[in-house]
A and B are shown apart, each in its own frame.
Chain A
């Protein structure tokens, strides 16, 4: 069976109901997006008539002769039922309602949403929303995000699909991705708002089977169809990494029941275990999500959990080592060959165990030798490259060059932490420009590797070879 969202994304003709001539109004922005970027036919509707962006403004959808595959309704909530009904009469089956003011505002809104539901059933319409940003796909020129490009910057085409219950989360995350590295990240973005019809499970089903989606990021506060969601996620997570936030963690505790089991059944405890069972990597904080995109989106999966750390600062190495064990990773024991090379090359005051501490005397050449040696060591599954660039003999340009070369080999995950001020920021920005994972602290770098390795462990448990899964190009 085809995913219900496919009909939205595959639309060849699209209608904006509530196209506005006032600049930067939601109905104006969406009209602009479709007129300028959508490769199919765009129709604009506004009861006042006239013209917008050289397109006729139809007074009603019923005036349009062509058949229409999908539409977006952007009118005040109280007019939305009528607009939906007209779309229904016109035979439009796939409709996005971005407008807010429904079930999220209480009784009055619940009544309106119920009215909408009745119309949907009568005309067999699939609805996204209300109270959402709708859909965005840069490759398809599909964009119902009603915030102007001057405010909400759009990331361009890439491997990541995102679906979110919260529109504000979605807007912020999209904006964030637009300035992360090259900004080439997003395949499909789905904001389904109140989930009157399309919900988290439909969204997962769609991005799960979408060949352009290589990894999935989710933001949920609750489930409309939790059981099916978990069952689908269990299959999809073996093909593409799924990660995200299930917020509202403290919403409900366990209800007192007659059994111990009921007393232990706190909502979030169950959610946590079921997400884990389904192979979804749960993150708690917003910054972790961006780190996920950076590391999953640019690095291969590790084949195991053995990490090599190279650092010019002892403290940073110790903190990274602590995080290694916190994240279920382990420090690699170097092969005899690599160990001998390190011992023979470096002065005796360098520490050549793992972490390799090339100290404040480190040069870019020292970094090259240490990093290349561990990269090529078969005992090493992933590499953490830590640099505190305040030391006198380090040529930062040379260090950046070496780091870029290694991070681009993509045989093993390679992450960099640059700790410090201006020069650290500069080097981080240079690496990010090339979409290479660079972080401001050792802990964050190791944690990102930890998530990557957690996914490897998950698929290996199910007999899937991590080399068979490619997110990055």
Chain B
């Protein structure tokens, strides 16, 4: 996949292990994975332009190697409905993070509510790259409803994994929620497993969490990659 190795090489040359969200999403796009439309902006004007291009509501996230756990720092603001709100959020970010090395602000089309899923990868000391699928969101570590496969995984294996989570009934259109497209979901698992396998020299861990499944499809709304 052209360009992915280059992105990792640049990040490594900057002596960092954390891949910023906008970089991670660029990598996902290069793997042919559809992510919500987003642009990294440096100025208020660019932010407004991006927001109006995507259409409201939008989400704004501060991109900085010093702010990796963004929600802990209120560096993610969701559901921005107007140009006014985009402007004031941009100003607020610049004020609060004035002493931080900021790469920019990611303006992203907001994805509607849906079921939150996780796909992640890790480097197991025994088995090498493994991929995880399960119920996502902020409580993923408490709920622990996940299943592992070796990377790279095949689509039949991924489909089987999807059937193995305890809460699989959630994928079938639970209480009015839309049905999850398992074909598409298994494709996503396969592609991410290929990413982790293909670039195992670089990638240590990866969280795509949450992936929102709603009536419009599957959307990776946050992506975290940690390099070796």
A residues bordering B, Cβ < 8 Å? Answer: 222-223, 226-227, 230-231, 257-265, 267, 269-271, 273-274, 276-277, 461
Q: With A227-B150, A277-B157 known to touch, is A259 a contact of B128 (CB < 8 Å)?
A: no
Q: List CB contacts (< 8 Å) of B146-174 with chain A.
A: 146-150, 157, 160-161, 164
> In the complex the two chains form, what is the Cα distance from A4 to B88 in whole Å?
70
Do B207 and A260 touch across chains, with their CB atoms under 8 A apart? Answer: yes
Given A230-B150, A270-B130, A270-B148, A260:B157 Cβ within 8 A: no
- Provide a sorted-by-A list of 27 A–B residue pairs whose CB atoms are within 8 angstroms: A227-B127, A227-B150, A257-B122, A257-B205, A258-B226, A259-B122, A260-B118, A260-B120, A260-B141, A260-B209, A261-B118, A261-B120, A261-B121, A261-B122, A264-B144, A264-B146, A265-B130, A265-B132, A267-B126, A270-B148, A271-B126, A273-B164, A274-B127, A274-B149, A274-B150, A277-B161, A461-B160
A258→B149 contact, CB < 8 A = no
CB distance from A188 to the nearest CB of B (A): 26
CB distance from B156 to the nearest CB of A (A): 8
Tell me the nearest residue of chain B to A272, going by C-beta.
Answer: B148
Indicate if the CB atoms of B132 and A261 lie closer than 8 Å.
Answer: yes
Are B128 and A262 in contact (CB-based, < 8 A)?
no
Q: Which residue among B132, B141, B160 has the maximum number of chain A CB atoms within 10 Å of its CB?
A: B132
Q: With A and B bound together, what is the CA distance between A286 and B130 in angstroms?
A: 29
* Given contact pairs A263-B141, A276-B164, A223 touches B126 in the complex (Cβ within 8 A): yes
A261 and B127 form a contact (CB under 8 A)? no
Contact with A258, one of B18, B141, B164 (Cβ below 8 angstroms): B18
Most chain-A CB neighbours within 10 Å: which of B126, B161, B204?
B126
B205: nearest chain-A partner, CB-CB? A259
Give chain B interface residues in 6-49, CB to chain A under 8 Å.
17-18
Mask for B190-228, Cβ within 8 A of A = 1, else 0? 000000000000001111010000000000000010100
Min Cβ gap A165→B in Å is 14
| Cα distance, A447 to B207, chains bound together (Å) | 38
Does B184 belong to the interface (CB within 8 Å)?
no
B residues bordering A, Cβ < 8 Å? Answer: 17-18, 68, 118, 120-122, 124, 126-128, 130, 132, 134, 140-141, 144, 146-150, 157, 160-161, 164, 204-207, 209, 224, 226
Cβ distance B215 to chain A, nearest Cβ, rounded Å: 26
On chain A, the residues within 8 Å of B207 by CB distance are: 259-261
8 closest A-B pairs by CB: A261-B120, A273-B148, A259-B205, A259-B207, A226-B126, A265-B122, A270-B148, A258-B226
Contacting A265 at CB < 8 Å: which of B124, B164, B224?
A: B124
Contact of B160 among A230, A265, A270, A277 (CB under 8 A): A277
Measured in the bound complex, the distance between the Cα atoms of B209 and A269 in whole Å is: 20
Quick check: B141 and A226 within 8 Å, CB to CB? no
Q: What is the bound-complex CA distance between A276 and B148, given in angstroms?
A: 10
> B148 — nearest CB in chain A belongs to which residue?
A273
A269–B146 CA distance with the chains assembled, in angstroms: 9
- What's the minimum C-beta distance from A461 to chain B, rounded to whole angstroms? 7
Most buried by A among B122, B146, B226: B122
Q: Give the CA-CA distance A270 to B121 in the complex, in Å.
A: 12
Chain B neighbourhood of A261, CB < 8 A: 118, 120-122, 132, 205-207
Q: Which A-chain residue is minimally distant from B146 (CB atoms)?
A: A264
Kindly list chain A residues whose C-beta atoms are within 8 Å of the C-beta of B204: 257
Q: Is the CB of A262 within 8 A of B122?
A: yes
Chain B nearest CB from A280 CB (Å) reads 14
Chain A residue nearest to B126 (CB atoms) is A226
Residues of B within 8 A of A258 (CB): 17-18, 68, 205, 224, 226
Chain A residues within 8 Å of B128, by CB: 227
Contact: B205 with A270, CB < 8 Å? Answer: no
Q: Which residues of A are found within 8 Å of B149, using beta-carbon distances?
A: 273-274, 277
User: What 5 additional pairs, Cβ within 8 angstroms, besides A227-B128, A258-B18?
Assistant: A227-B150, A261-B121, A261-B122, A264-B141, A273-B148
> Is A230 a contact of B132 with CB atoms below 8 Å?
no
Determine the residue in chain A with the shortest Cβ distance to B209: A260
A50 to B118, alpha carbons, bound, how many Å?
A: 71
Q: Which residues of B contact A270 (CB under 8 A)?
A: 124, 126-127, 130, 148
A-chain residues with CB within 8 Å of residue B126 when the two chains form the complex = 222-223, 226, 267, 270-271
Known contacts A265-B130, A270-B130, A277-B157; A259/B224 CB under 8 A: yes
Give, as a whole number of angstroms, the nearest-CB distance from A89 to chain B.
Answer: 37
Nearest chain-B residue to A224 (Cβ)?
B126
Residue of B nearest to A231 (CB): B150
Taken together as a complex, chains A and B put the C-alpha atoms of A271 and B147 apart, in Å, by: 11
Docked CA distance A34–B103 (Å): 74
Residues on the A chain within 8 Å of B150, using CB: 227, 230-231, 274, 277
B146 proximity list for chain A (CB < 8 A)? 264, 269
- Answer whether A264 and B140 are a contact pair too, CB < 8 Å, given A226-B127, A259-B120, A274-B127: yes
Contact of B132 among A257, A264, A271, A277 (CB under 8 A): A264
Q: Which of A257, A265, A271 has the most CB of B within 10 A?
A: A265
A219 to B146, CA, bound (A): 26
Q: Which of A222, A223, A274, A461 contacts B148 (CB 8 A)?
A: A274
* Contact partner, A260, options B17, B127, B130, B140, Cβ 8 Å: B140
**With A and B bound together, what is the CA distance between A276 and B204 in angstroms?**
24
Q: In angstroms, how far is the closest chain A Cβ from the Cβ of B111?
A: 19
Task: Report the separation of the CA atoms of residues A257 and B140 in the bound assembly, to the nearest whole angstrom.
Answer: 14
- Contact partners of A223 in chain B: CB under 8 A: 126-127
Interface centre among A259, A262, A263, A271 (most CB of B within 10 A): A259
Give the distance in Å from the alpha carbon of A112 to the alpha carbon of B121 in the complex.
39
Bound complex: CA A466 to CA B60 (Å): 56
Q: Please give, as numbers and ranges, the residues of chain B lying within 8 Å of A276 by CB-CB distance.
A: 164
CA distance A262 to B207 in the complex (A): 9
Cβ distance A311 to chain B, nearest Cβ, rounded Å: 32
Contact among B68, B157, B205, B209 with A262 in the assembled complex (CB-CB below 8 Å): B205
Instruction: Please report the C-alpha to C-alpha distance between residue A223 and residue B150 in the assembled complex, in whole angstroms.
Output: 15
B183: shortest Cβ distance to chain A, in Å? 17
Contacts of A267 in B (CB 8 A): 124, 126
Report the bound CA distance from A270 to B149 in whole Å: 8
Are A259 and B18 in touch, CB under 8 angstroms? no
Q: Which residues of B contact A263 (CB under 8 A)?
A: 141
